[in-house]
Amino acid sequence: MADNTNQHYVHKGYLRPFCTSEGENSIALFNVSRQMYIPTASLKGECSKRYFYGKDPWYEGHMQKIEGHYNEVIRKIKTVGYSLEESDRKFLLRFWLFQHSRTEARAKEAVEMGNIFADAIDLPPEENDFDQDNAIRAALENFLYYKDQLDDLKTRLIKNKTKHAFVTSDDPAVLCNRWYTTDSRPKKYNFGGGLGSSGTTLILPLTPDLLFIAFDGDVYNLTHKKNWASITSVQDVSAFNQQQHLNCINNIYCVDAFNGVIAESESKHTMSTRSSDKYAFEYMVEEEKSINGGRLMAILEDGTRLVDASEQEAREIGKAMVTHRRIFPIPLNWPSILKFRPKGSVYTNGTYGGFMRRFHTEKEMIDQPDLVFWREPSTKVKG
């Protein structure tokens, strides 16, 4: 049996700096679905479920080790004169991935995708045993598999010098991609910009006045001094906070009543761009069997060429590859400190893989020597 039945999918120690005052066990929040400010919610009950990781103590024990190290790193970062160490940089990248992988939202999305895949292959419901427990375990296993896939990203710590706080949420580890949402080229591949794609940006607020950001250094630039940058514009704070509003499940954690009023205003402004669907599904069929002659999307290792198809066409053919792509909600504005690099680069091989970061293309070409990627300039929009 797990030692702790009330298991948090967002670390309680992570949320604590956003409490009404440091060390207290109540937290101010704005509930997006009800459009209601709650000044003193119990921290113990936030972002938690009974046996969220199941009853095997192994999972909860490993969660606690990671969370304990996170607390140590945050204490170091908050000391005067701290300079981001390489070990801490890599840990924050892994913590972002850890947090991104384990929320209730990811579990529900995984179950939903599993159901859609099962339906696509006409799997009887009684044979589909992929439930939330399995989804959570799979997510944690994926974390172990992908934990080194973000190390090529540039990282910065952002100091907020305004009176407006960085807020966080019940799904705080944000994956976004301004390059993907503003450049037309990725759309032709139907590729949604995953963790290995060109233009990837990761955001994680650490405290009301500190934020961690990681980004594709071939596409963006963020001026810094020893990996630190500062913002003095409330518009930039709002731009970062919008990402929490767009990504959250239900709750924004907003520190106090002053920031609660701001959170309510930002919630209303971003409501029109929030999407209930975070993924879309794509179908691919063998080119020689295609009925409508779709676009080339992928070439498999055995030389099979796959083209895009509608769900109906895929079902008529009876054999298809089903994939999913990320849907990025578009914020009202982006942080002005993260600029497009004037002579930036993206990489592609012209198939469904879309545009990948250089680090990942090099790995792909080692694994599959016949693959050829080429560079294209990233800048077709102004920063």
String of DSSP letters for 86-132:
HHHHHHHHHHHHHHHHSSHHHHHHHHHHHHHHHHHTT--GGG----H
Residue 376, helix vs strand vs coil: strand
- The pLDDT score that the predictor gives to residue 369 is 80
What are the C-alpha distances in Å from 40 to residues 34, 260, 273, 335?
16, 12, 28, 30
3 state DSSP class of 70: helix
What pLDDT, on the 0 to 100 scale, is given for residue 49? 66
Place of tokens 């509930």: 31
pLDDT for the residue 66: 84
Residue 383's pLDDT is 46
CA pair distance 140, 185, nearest whole angstrom: 33
Q: Can you give the residue ranges of every domain in the chain?
A: 6-271, 280-326
Query: What does each of the 383 residues of the chain score in pLDDT, given as a tens digit?
Result: 445 676 667 888 899 999 976 557 899 999 999 999 999 998 888 877 665 555 666 666 667 788 889 999 999 999 999 999 999 999 999 999 988 887 655 656 665 666 666 665 566 666 656 566 666 666 677 777 777 889 999 999 999 999 999 999 999 999 999 998 888 787 666 555 688 899 999 999 999 999 999 999 999 999 999 999 999 999 999 999 999 999 998 999 999 999 999 999 999 999 888 876 667 777 888 888 888 888 777 777 677 888 888 878 887 887 777 776 767 788 999 999 999 999 999 999 877 678 889 998 988 888 778 788 999 999 865 54
pTM of the entire predicted model: 0.84
Predicted local confidence at residue 1, as pLDDT: 43
Quick one: tokens of 24?
Answer: 């207290």
| Cα 139 from Cα 377, distance rounded (Å) | 34
